[in-house]
Structure 1
């Protein structure tokens, strides 16, 4: 189906989508994309339900001034990353392709299950946080479906914009239940592969109705053109624009998110906290913008239990690392001592059947010789060898982001198995030669797509399936493992 045919409908219900209805409203009032509707606010960036447990969530949203983003007007280079042609970084941010201006107002949130209702009453947003709001909601029931209603208004008595979605809480740790989740990485705004929806991959994942999604970093690219995000307004624009694509809005309104940051979300390529500024932005600025724009809690590294058979560990790879250029040795680190101690303790205490580490960078690889910022590189060999040995001894698997190609690799020393999702569109795939098939590779594909993971029982035998998909959702490789 062509993008123009998909656009008017919600990809799950086939009813007219909120984005289409907003467009009709704009046309009826004579407003164009990016134009204001007096006294109205909009939820153009959708909402995200993050950090789902068996009893709580964190919900994020943003109030917007216009019903739809500024249209994409620039042509793109037909090459890797598809940079925009003749983009003027000095133009007003509000006029940039994909721009979604924020606005004053207040937000109300309601969660409803079959027999309960939880309401967070009207709360104002602030320009100091880019008109975003983030709130934790507890007291939820395990393995329970909740409908979500997010409302926005300029002020009491004004028109109300409304957006709906749903999610399901995690089951109790001892519950034997099937679970499916998806994982993706690396999405540059200008590498979109659907001129209306944004990224085909998101609609493909939504059709699978995953229990949750792991986004493993490079959600935005500060240091790639269109614009280069060297100031606070330009960095916020990157988030507003990527979150304005309808495919992302529809997916995250229905799919809980666990998100990790990587270098491009924070400042620039291969960054550590010893880095110089990027334009006017410091490393600390990048951390604060990240916290503002994502549905995360106070701890960057965390673990998720989803029933008896699955536990996932999400690590933080930027906040605690040594300078990448330091000489390798026992004190050089990516994870930091506190996170390593947490990882060892929580993994050893877990009785989950399957244990998965989700890393924003590779641990097994192989990676390119020139790279110096991950555990698969010689620059971090000491910690990498320890980490691969520890994970293999604990019977774990690795899902990694950051690499722009799909693969399944097995470490020849420890047997640790790693699954790389590849980038979010085919045009973003690069960095590895398709015929460079190393002994470590069980699967190699230099294209875009995503990974799905399903945990289930075959009779009494716990089973896990790692499936690579192309951007249309078609499986291109399957790895099925049965618990011993």
Structure 2
């Protein structure tokens, strides 16, 4: 992605889509909304450019959750032993898990909590040698719904965020988001120096509104070029091991690629499974698994992992996400799926040959938000939709909102995130995607049913 530009918005419009009805998506929305509103009001006097005293620790952050387990992340300022106390509904302790913060991991801790009940809420607190460090009603997590049962969930997606206070993070919670997916350039690092990468991650996770959100909202992430290391960079980047180390230290995903390579991962949250691809680490490091005359984007192992994961998925909707967009940016840069169209087309063919239903693509990166509906009926069996959401920050690039024959709508607008509802309690199951602007500027939405993303 090229450097930030402060420019005005521009719109290409092929088709009008009516705004969908807004729904409350969780039984605990009232509590979550009140917490978000309270946090927002406390932070209202903090201007984006003002200095603020940094906390003595970073986090906590709820990371990966499933229906039976959860990861809780925390970074104290000092090394040593720290305990995570899981609390029952009445406030008594369910269990205590101890871990050691080590200097070689920049004091970052991730506690893994297993043996939980699906769709349940647990409180937690954190203590160290000097007593309790973290406690209060905003420190809790909810396990995912049972994937075998019908449910209704709401997820937030976003990319390209600055390390400064922003009410958008509070808005996500106010709008009922139960989970957060960071699509890359979250944060901007633009260095392969390990100390710089660690510092940028700390600053990002200390943004007050984001810190409040992730203290009780499951959070996953992948990276794009600026948090991988350099603008428009690929797997040949020297020093990428350092940015990977910082990423692994400062995220609590279920997994991070394979054999200390890459960061791809996946998770299921009720009726939706999300596949977070790594489109940086392996790019141009070997020949493509689908065309040996061309360089790869995903690499052989990630390619095989994705195919196996898609075949195994039973979720009505399958979101394949990454930092870059799934077509051509049509500029001088090469970091897009248009450059590696042979792997994208092979993915379409694989989906079609194996009759994998419910696939939707999500990307970020370009400082524009767009919805495209591709003519993939012949190769896939149904039209593939791409949702592009960018940026969270205030810098847009209208020239990348280019015309495209499959463009439904696109606009370069600052402070945008994607609100995605998935409801399998209806028949057929429905996915509702809404592009949300922080200041309430009207955007657009789309509703897709499981029947529309299937094989007749």
Distance (Å, rounded) in 2 between the aligned partners of 1:53 and 1:323? 33
Q: Structure 1 residues 406, 310: CA separation in 2 closer, same or farther (over 3 Å shift)? A: same
Residue by residue, what CA displacement relative to the aligned partner does 1:180-229 show, whole Å, maximum 9, x if unpaired?
1110111132xx4xxxxx12210110112322111111112222xxxxx4
Distance (Å, rounded) in 2 between the aligned partners of 1:19 and 1:109? 29
Q: Are 1:49 and 2:62 counterparts?
A: yes
Distance (Å, rounded) in 1 between the aligned partners of 2:186 and 2:166? 12
Contact 2:36 2:173 in 1 (8 A): no
After TM superposition, the structure 1 stretch with the greater mean CA deviation from structure 2, 263-272 or 159-168, is 159-168
After TM superposition, the structure 1 stretch with the greater mean CA deviation from structure 2, 380-389 or 179-188, is 380-389
1:111-122 correspondence to structure 2 within 5 Å:
111-114=86-89, 117-122=93-98
Q: Which residue of 2 aligns with 1:60?
A: 73
Residue number among 156, 161, 174 corresponding to 1:187 in the alignment: 161
Distance (Å, rounded) in 2 between the aligned partners of 1:401 and 1:107? 36
Distance (Å, rounded) in 2 between the aligned partners of 1:186 and 1:333? 25
Q: Which residue of 1 aligns with 2:344?
A: 384
Per the alignment, in what secondary structure is the counterpart of residue 226 of structure 2?
Answer: helix
Residue number among 249, 258, 276 corresponding to 1:314 in the alignment: 276
Shift of 1:34: 4.7
Per the alignment, in what secondary structure is the counterpart of residue 444 of structure 2?
Answer: strand
After TM superposition, the structure 1 stretch with the greater mean CA deviation from structure 2, 386-395 or 337-346, is 386-395
Q: Which residue of 2 aligns with 1:12?
A: 34
Distance (Å, rounded) in 1 between the aligned partners of 2:123 and 2:365? 33
1:189-228 correspondence to structure 2 within 5 Å:
189=163, 192=164, 198-223=165-190
Q: Structure 1 residues 405, 371: CA separation in 2 closer, same or farther (over 3 Å shift)? A: same
Q: Structure 1 residues 347, 133: CA separation in 2 closer, same or farther (over 3 Å shift)? A: same
Contact 1:347 1:394 in 2 (8 A): yes
Distance (Å, rounded) in 2 between the aligned partners of 1:372 and 1:14? 39
Q: Are 1:350 and 2:350 counterparts?
A: no
Q: Which residue of 1 aligns with 2:410?
A: 444
Provide the TM-score with structure 1 as the length reference: 0.73
Per the alignment, in what secondary structure is the counterpart of residue 461 of structure 1?
Answer: coil
Distance (Å, rounded) in 2 between the aligned partners of 1:19 and 1:47? 21
Residue number among 453, 456, 463 corresponding to 2:430 in the alignment: 463
Distance (Å, rounded) in 2 between the aligned partners of 1:159 and 1:174? 41
Q: Structure 1 residues 432, 387: CA separation in 2 closer, same or farther (over 3 Å shift)? A: farther
Q: Which residue of 2 aligns with 1:411?
A: 374
Q: Which residue of 2 aligns with 1:166?
A: 140
Shift of 1:410: 1.9
Q: Are 1:263 and 2:263 counterparts?
A: no
Distance (Å, rounded) in 2 between the aligned partners of 1:342 and 1:413? 23
Distance (Å, rounded) in 1 between the aligned partners of 2:267 and 2:71? 14
Distance (Å, rounded) in 2 between the aligned partners of 1:471 and 1:15? 14
Distance (Å, rounded) in 1 between the aligned partners of 2:322 and 2:52? 38
Provide the TM-score with structure 2 as the length reference: 0.78
Q: Are 1:430 and 2:397 counterparts?
A: yes
Shift of 1:16: 6.7
Residue by residue, what CA displacement relative to the aligned partner does 1:368-421 show, whole Å, maximum 9, x if unpaired?
23221221x2x3121122124444663311111222110001224553210011
Structure 2: gaps (5+ residues): 1-31, 46-50, 258-263, 378-382, 452-456
Per the alignment, in what secondary structure is the counterpart of residue 12 of structure 1?
Answer: helix
Contact 1:55 1:138 in 2 (8 A): yes
Distance (Å, rounded) in 1 between the aligned partners of 2:417 and 2:443? 10
Per the alignment, in what secondary structure is the counterpart of residue 341 of structure 1?
Answer: helix
Distance (Å, rounded) in 2 between the aligned partners of 1:235 and 1:457? 40
Q: Which residue of 2 aligns with 1:93?
A: none
Residue number among 76, 84, 89 corresponding to 1:109 in the alignment: 84
Q: Structure 1 residues 341, 135: CA separation in 2 closer, same or farther (over 3 Å shift)? A: same
Contact 1:113 1:144 in 2 (8 A): no
The structure showing larger relative contact order (alpha-carbon pairs under 8 Å, at least 6 residues apart) is: 2
Q: Are 1:420 and 2:388 counterparts?
A: yes
Q: Structure 1 residues 390, 117: CA separation in 2 closer, same or farther (over 3 Å shift)? A: farther
Per the alignment, in what secondary structure is the counterpart of residue 352 of structure 1?
Answer: coil
Q: Structure 1 residues 203, 441: CA separation in 2 closer, same or farther (over 3 Å shift)? A: same
Contact 2:285 2:299 in 1 (8 A): no
Number of residue pairs matched?
Answer: 394
Distance (Å, rounded) in 1 between the aligned partners of 2:268 and 2:430? 16
Contact 2:67 2:143 in 1 (8 A): yes
Q: Are 1:144 and 2:120 counterparts?
A: yes
Structure 1: gaps (5+ residues): 1-9, 24-31, 36-40, 64-101, 193-197, 224-228, 277-281
Q: Structure 1 residues 20, 479: CA separation in 2 closer, same or farther (over 3 Å shift)? A: closer
Q: Which residue of 2 aligns with 1:292?
A: 249
Residue by residue, what CA displacement relative to the aligned partner does 1:135-173 show, whole Å, maximum 9, x if unpaired?
21111111111122233x4x3xx3542244222111222
Distance (Å, rounded) in 2 between the aligned partners of 1:402 and 1:12? 32
Distance (Å, rounded) in 2 between the aligned partners of 1:251 and 1:473? 20
